[in-house]
Amino acid sequence: MEKILVKQLYRESEKYAEQMISISGWIRTLRASKNFGFIEINDGTFFKNVQVVFEEGLENFKEVSKLSISSSITVEGKLVLTPGAKQPFELKAEKIEIEGLSDADYPLQKKRHSFEFLRTIAHLRPRSNTFSAVFRVRSLVAFAIHKFFQERGFVYTHTPIITGSDCEGAGEMFRITTMDLNDIPKTEGGEIDYKEDFFGKETNLTVSGQLAAEAYALAFRNVYTFGPTFRAENSNTARHAAEFWMVEPEIAFAELQDDMELAEDMIKYIISYVLENAPEEIEFFNSFIDKGLKERLIHVATSDFGKVSYTEAIDILKKCGKEFQYPVEWGIDLQTEHERYLTEEVFKKPLFVTDYPKEIKAFYMRLNEDQKTVAAMDLLVPGIGEIVGGSQREERLDVLESRIEELGLKKEDYWWYLELRKYGGTKHAGFGLGFERMIMYVTGISNIRDVIPFPRTTGTAEF
Amino acid sequence: MEKILVKQLYRESEKYAEQMISISGWIRTLRASKNFGFIEINDGTFFKNVQVVFEEGLENFKEVSKLSISSSITVEGKLVLTPGAKQPFELKAEKIEIEGLSDADYPLQKKRHSFEFLRTIAHLRPRSNTFSAVFRVRSLVAFAIHKFFQERGFVYTHTPIITGSDCEGAGEMFRITTMDLNDIPKTEGGEIDYKEDFFGKETNLTVSGQLAAEAYALAFRNVYTFGPTFRAENSNTARHAAEFWMVEPEIAFAELQDDMELAEDMIKYIISYVLENAPEEIEFFNSFIDKGLKERLIHVATSDFGKVSYTEAIDILKKCGKEFQYPVEWGIDLQTEHERYLTEEVFKKPLFVTDYPKEIKAFYMRLNEDQKTVAAMDLLVPGIGEIVGGSQREERLDVLESRIEELGLKKEDYWWYLELRKYGGTKHAGFGLGFERMIMYVTGISNIRDVIPFPRTTGTAEF
C-alpha cells in the first residue's frame, strides 16, 4: 500500500480519491463515542491535519479511542473526498497501527503556550502549529537561496568555519582550542604556547566568509557562501544570536550597481518562492503573528527598489521635522528608527542607501573619489530596516594597503587577500544577508530565538 | 551590450552567433605577432576557455599584446562560429578593457604544479584547471543534495554547531570559549568556573547533528541536515580533516530497509546529476586524475545495490582464501581492505552491509532480536569502501536507557533525547554522508585537502 505524506494528499487529493492509502503521523485531536471516532493527525509535511474516521468494527477500537495527544499512529484506509465539508477529504480507517504512545504529561497540550515556554522544550516545539510552519518556511527559504544562485551559475563555496584571521578587523570572536584549560602550555617567556594547540596557532570561529569568498570570486566570477557564522557579543536582544547563518554572494567584474541589482533580485526571488510554495503558512502568519505580513511581502516582491545616497538620506532626515531618539548628523551610523522612517514614510518601498562615510564602514570597502565615503550599500525594507549590507570591494592594491595601515591592522595578516589584487584583480562587489533576519521578515516572528531550531545566545546553549 | 558568461556561450553559442557581446575573464594564454594576436580567457564558470582574436586596429593593441598570464580583461566583440576548427567559436575583439594586471611572479604559470605546492596558494589554486573543476563539481553536488531532499518534501534543518553535548559519546572535540586563557576563572574549589564562560557551561564544536535531527524527524517526518562538523582527531591522513561537511537525513515511520533505499536513491541521484551537469569536468577527471572514474560512476548509478549481513560478510571474507593485513573474525570493525574486497571482488557493485555487532556501534542504534547485533548499515562502493553509514534508531525507551547505562553514559545528558521516545516515538532511521568523501568519489581526487577550499587539518589553519 502506498505510504502518502499529508502534503501529497492535499496537493493531489483527486489522485488518491477512493484509493486505499497509508498515512502516518502524530495525533493532534481525538474525539470518540461508543461507536465511532475522529482523529486529526499531522505528519509535519504540511500545515493542515488529515481527519481520520474510525468505527467500532476496527480491531483495536477501544485502544485507539483512548489514545493520547501526540501518540504516533499509522492509518490504512480509503480516502473519501468530502466536497462542501469543513475538510476536503477524510480517511476511513480500516486499520490503525499504534506506533508510539505519548505520556499524559506531554507538555504541548492544546492550550496556547508562550514562545518563552516553548523555547524550553525546543525538542518538541516544532510539533506546534507555529513552529512547524516557521521551520518549514526556513527550509524553503534556504532552498530558494540555493536555487536562485545556482540558476545564475554561481559557485557555492564553503568558506572555513575555523579561522586564524578576523575578517572585519573588529568583532568579538569565540576561541577554539584543544589545550587542557587546567594546564595551558606556556612558552619560556610565560606566554600561551599556541604551537601546542591543535592548529599550532590561535584560532577562532568565523564572523564572515567574505575574504575567502573574494578569493573564489576572482576564480569563478560569481560565487556565494551559505553557512554558519558566529559573534561572541554579549548582547541579549531579540535580534542577535551567537550562532546564525549567513549568505554572502561575491561577484567579479561588477560594481556597486550590479551588487544592488543582485540583492534586489534575490530578495524578490525568495519572497516569491515562499508565497508560491508556502501559501498556507503565510496565511497563518498573517492571521496570527503579524497582520500586515502578506501585503508587505507582496509589496516588496513587486516594487522597484529605491536608491538614495547616505548624504541625501541625512539631509532628508534632518529636514523632515521628525524627532528621533538618536539625533541625525552626517557621520552617524543610521539607527533602525532612521532606516524605518526612510523606507516606510519617505520612500514607501525597499530602499538602498549608498556611499557611507568611510569611518563607519570596514577597511575593504572601495574608497570613493571624494575620499570621504565608500561604495557601500545597505538595503532597508519596511517593517525592520536593514536586511542586507554590502559594498564594492577595494581592488586597488595601494589604496587597500593605506586603509589597512590607517586602521592599525597588520598587513601580513592579509598577505593572501592583498595578493588577490596583485594577480589580475578586478572590480568586484558582494553583500551579506543574515539568513535568520530573512526568516523573521517572511514569517513576522520577532525574536531570532524562535526561527533557529536550537538557538545559541549569551548564557544559553541548551540541547 | 549583454555581459555573457563563458558557460552561457558554450551552452547557447548559436544564440549569440554574429552578435556583439561582452566577456570578462582571466588570461590563460596569449600569443601576439606584429599585426594580430590570440588570447584564451577563462571566467571560471566553465571548463573551457574562449578564444579571443585581436588585431592591430585595436586602440590599445600594443598594451594588450604584452599582457601577462592571469591579468583580467573585458572583451567586447562579435562572436563568430568556426565549425570544423579546434574551438567552436571565437570572439573578434573590438575593444579590450584591461581590468587588472598580474605581476610577473604569478605563481600559477603554465607548467604543472604539485597538489602539495598548490595547497600553499589555496587563494589562487581555484584558477587552475583541476581545482576550477573540483570546486564547480563541489557546488553542483551540494545543490544536487538539496534538490534531492527538497523534491521529496524533506525539511532542511540547521542543527547547532556549538553544542553542550557529545552526540557519539566518544569523539575528540574542539572546546569553544571566550574565557581569558591567561586568567581562567576558577571556582572556590579550584575548578574551572564555566559559569563565567559565554554560554555558562562547557561547549564544543559539534561532531554530528544527528540527535537534534531526530527531534526534528519526530515533528516533520523527513528531515535532513547539511552543515559543517568537526573532529579534533590528531590524524594526518589523506581522508581526514578537522572541519568537514556532513549530510544527515533522518526519516520517521521508517526502518532500516527504508533507510537503505533512501541512501541508494540519493547516491544515484547525485552521480546522475553530476554526469548530466558537469560532463566536461568528468571527462577531464577521467583523463587526468583517475582513468576508471567515469565507468565506475555510471556503473554505480545504474546498478541495483547489493545487501549482505555483517555476519555473512565475515563468513565470506574468512572463506575467500585471501590474506588480509587485518585478520578477519566476527566482532572486528571492517577495514577498508575488507570493504573494498567485498564490493569490488565479491559483489562487483555497491553493497550494504547490515546488522553489525553492537560493541562496535553507537548507543543509539536499534538492538536486534538476537541481542548481539544492531540495525546498522554501511554502504560500500567500489574504489573507496564505506561512503555512507546509518542505522535504525532505538525507539524503545527502556532499551535505550539500558544501552546508555551499559556504556557508562549519563542519562541526564540525554534527557530531551529520551523524551522523544516518551511522547509519541516512532520507528525511525537515518544515515550520514561525508560530503567531502562524496566529492572525492565523483572527482577521483585522493586527498581530502584538495576538495576543501581552505582545509583545516592537524597543525594547519592557514588563510
| CATH number of B93's domain | 2.40.50.140
Reading the block at residue A67, the C-alpha cell is 489514545
* Helix A129-151 vs helix A256-277: crossing angle, to nearest 10: 140
Q: Tell whether B189 is covered by a domain.
A: no
Q: What are the pLDDT digits (tens) for A292-350?
A: 999 999 999 999 999 999 999 999 999 999 999 999 999 999 999 999 999 999 999 99
Distance CA B387, CA B397 (A): 30
Reading the block at residue B391, the C-alpha cell is 542505522
pLDDT score of A266 more than 60: yes
> In sequence order, what DSSP letters do the residues of B256-303 get, joined into one string?
HHHHHHHHHHHHHHHHHHHHHH-HHHHHHHHHHT-TTHHHHHHHHHHS
Distance CA B416, CA B59 (A): 72
Q: Tell whether B223 is covered by a domain.
A: yes
Task: Report chain A residues whose CB lies below 8 A from the CB of B206.
Answer: none
Q: What is the pLDDT of residue A149?
A: 98
pLDDT score of B166 more than 90: no
Q: Tell whether B56 is covered by a domain.
A: yes
Q: What are the pLDDT digits (tens) for A41-92?
A: 999 999 999 999 999 999 999 999 999 999 999 999 999 999 888 889 999 9
Choose the weakest-confidence range: A162-171, B320-329, B397-406.
A162-171
Q: Tell whether B379 is covered by a domain.
A: yes
Tell me if chain A has a CB within 8 Å of the CB of B101. yes
pLDDT score of B271 more than 80: yes
CB within 8 Å of A312: residues ≥ 6 apart:
none
Q: Is B177–A172 a contact, with Cβ atoms under 8 angstroms apart?
A: no
Which of B106, B132, B215 lies nearest to residue A123, judging by beta carbons?
A: B215
Q: What is the pLDDT of residue B267?
A: 98
Enclosing H/E stretch for A356: strand A351-357
Q: Tell whether A11 is covered by a domain.
A: yes
Q: What is the pLDDT of residue A370?
A: 97
Enclosing H/E stretch for A74: strand A72-81
Distance CA B381, CA A220 (A): 31
Please give the distance of CA A255 from its chain centroid, rounded to a whole number: 26
pLDDT confidence band for B167 (50 / 70 / 90)? low
Which of B8, B163, B172 lies nearest to residue A461, judging by beta carbons?
A: B163
Q: Tell whether A235 is covered by a domain.
A: yes
How many domains would you assign to chain A?
2
Which of B143, B199, B424 lies nearest to residue A26, judging by beta carbons?
A: B424
pLDDT confidence band for A236 (50 / 70 / 90)? confident
Tell me if chain A has a CB within 8 Å of the CB of B215. yes
* Same domain? A95 vs A146: no
Q: Tell whether B178 is covered by a domain.
A: no
pLDDT confidence band for A28 (50 / 70 / 90)? very high
- Judged by CB atoms within 8 Å, which residues 277-296 of A form the interface with B? none
Q: Which long-range contacts (CB under 8 A, 24 or more apart) does B35-39 make?
A: B37/B64, B37/B65, B39/B64, B39/B67, B39/B73, B39/B75
| CATH number of B391's domain | 3.30.930.10
Q: Which domain covers residue A21, as residue numbers?
A: 6-100
CB within 8 Å of B158: residues ≥ 6 apart:
A138, A142, A228, A245, A452, A453, B225, B227
* Same domain? A161 vs A91: no
- Residue ending a domain, among A48, A81, A100, is A100
* Same domain? B148 vs B20: no
* Same domain? A151 vs A33: no
Q: Is A166 helix (H, G, I), strand (E, B) or coil?
A: coil
Reading the block at residue A82, the C-alpha cell is 468530502
Complex-level ipTM: 0.97
Ranges assigned E (strand) in B33-160: 36-42, 50-55, 72-81, 89-100, 155-156
* Same domain? B216 vs B80: no
pLDDT confidence band for B134 (50 / 70 / 90)? very high
Among B225, B261, B423, B457, pick the best mutation site for testing chain A contact (most A Cβ within 10 A): B423
A105 CB-contact burial (10 Å; exposed 0-12 / middle 13-18 / buried 19+): exposed
* Same domain? A28 vs A149: no
With cell 578537522, the residue in question is B242
* Same domain? A285 vs A353: yes
* Same domain? A269 vs A393: yes
Q: Is A40 helix (H, G, I), strand (E, B) or coil?
A: strand
Could you tell me the pTM of the whole model?
0.97
Q: What are the pLDDT digits (tens) for A428-452?
A: 999 999 999 999 999 999 999 999 9
The count of CB pairs under 8 A between chains A and B is 325
Among candidate residues A211, A218, A167, A164, the one with its CA nearest the CA of residue B124? A218
pLDDT score of B367 more than 90: yes
pLDDT confidence band for A271 (50 / 70 / 90)? very high
CB within 8 Å of B306: residues ≥ 6 apart:
B347, B349, B350, B351, B352
* Same domain? B295 vs B340: yes
- Judged by CB atoms within 8 Å, which residues 346-405 of B form the interface with A? 395
Q: Is B221–A43 a contact, with Cβ atoms under 8 angstroms apart?
A: yes
Search chain A and give the residue with CA nearest B151: A143
Q: Tell whether B342 is covered by a domain.
A: yes
pLDDT score of A186 more than 60: yes
Tell me if chain B has a CB within 8 Å of the CB of A118. no
* Same domain? B301 vs B375: yes
* Same domain? B256 vs B149: yes
With cell 516572528, the residue in question is A445
pLDDT confidence band for B1 (50 / 70 / 90)? confident
Distance CA B221, CA B229 (A): 23
Enclosing H/E stretch for B441: helix B435-443
Which of A71, A172, A424 lies nearest to residue B70, judging by beta carbons?
A: A424
DSSP 8-state code for residue B68: P
Q: What is the pLDDT of residue A32?
A: 96
* Same domain? B23 vs B132: no
